[in-house]
Every structure is written in structure tokens, then in C-alpha cells.
Amino acid sequence: MDIITTDKAPAAIGPYSQAVKAGGFLFCSGQIPLDPISGDMVSGSIEEETEQVMKNLLGVLEAAGTGFDRVVKATIYLTDMDCFPAVNQVYGSYFSTVKPARATVAVAALPKSARVEIEVVALV
């Protein structure tokens, strides 16, 4: 088991790792729209927030030597399902030919009052 850390994604804000590599897979912790440099939440449209989430995930994936083309499962957490079409549009732009399995879940709240959080599992 290897712990993955990178400055291309926000540092963990609790007792967890950005990602763990084990058994040929990378298990990425959920990312919210935190700017990895400033540590501030990206605010604005749900598209801008989702874009930051995806950039954060890309940073973690690349630190482990993999990418979105190797993602096998994703979970999206939303505090408002009305945001789903916009989130789906941004999320989908990161996947060209490979479309991972996915679940989208409505939740009551997310850390730091985020509106979107996404976690992925990828092959390494």
C-alpha cells in the first residue's frame, strides 16, 4: 500500500490521505472545490466549482502515474440535484472514450459547505 500526496491538489483537511495505491488500483479521496495553492474554496458557478474539483482529481491521478483514461469508478456527491446537468457537462469533458462506472448521490451537506464532491478509483 502506498500513500499518494501532491501539491497539485488540496492537502487533506482531516485524518485521511489524498489517495492510496493498493492492488493495482488508486483510491482517491473525494475532492471539493478547494484551490490547492490558496486553500480557499472556489466560489462562483457550479461549473467553476466542478472544474476545480476535476483539476484537483487530475493532480492526484497524475501524482500516482495515472489519469482520467484509467478511471474505472466515480462517485459524485451533490447538495442540490438541480446542479446535476451542469456538473455532468464539466465531468463528462474529462472523459473522452473511456466512460467509468458512476454513481451520483444527493447529500444534505459536504465539507466546507461545498456543493459538489467527487471521488474516483483508477487503475495504476
77 within 8 A of 107, measured Cβ to Cβ: yes
Give 80-110 pLDDT, tens digit per residue. Answer: 999 999 999 999 999 988 899 999 999 999 9
9 within 8 A of 56, measured Cβ to Cβ: yes
101 within 8 A of 30, measured Cβ to Cβ: no
Q: Beta strand pairing status for 71-78 and 101-106?
A: parallel
Say which residue, 84 or 13, is predicted with more confidence. 84
Q: Give the residue carrying C-alpha cell 456527491.
A: 77
Would you state the pLDDT for residue 96?
Answer: 87
Residues 6+ apart with CB under 8 A from 85: none
Give 21-58 pLDDT, tens digit per residue. Answer: 999 999 999 999 999 999 999 989 999 999 999 999 99
Would you state the pLDDT for residue 67?
Answer: 97
Would you state the pLDDT for residue 98?
Answer: 86
pTM reported for the whole predicted model: 0.97
Average pLDDT (63-79) is 98
27 within 8 A of 19, measured Cβ to Cβ: yes
Residue 8 has pLDDT above 90, yes or no: yes
Nearest to 4 by CA among 23, 18, 22: 18
Q: Give the residue carrying C-alpha cell 483514461.
A: 69
Residue 112: CB atoms within 10 A of its CB come to: 13
Domains and CATH numbers, the chain: 2-123 (3.30.1330.40)
Q: How would residue 13 be classed by pLDDT, with cut points 50, 70 and 90?
A: confident
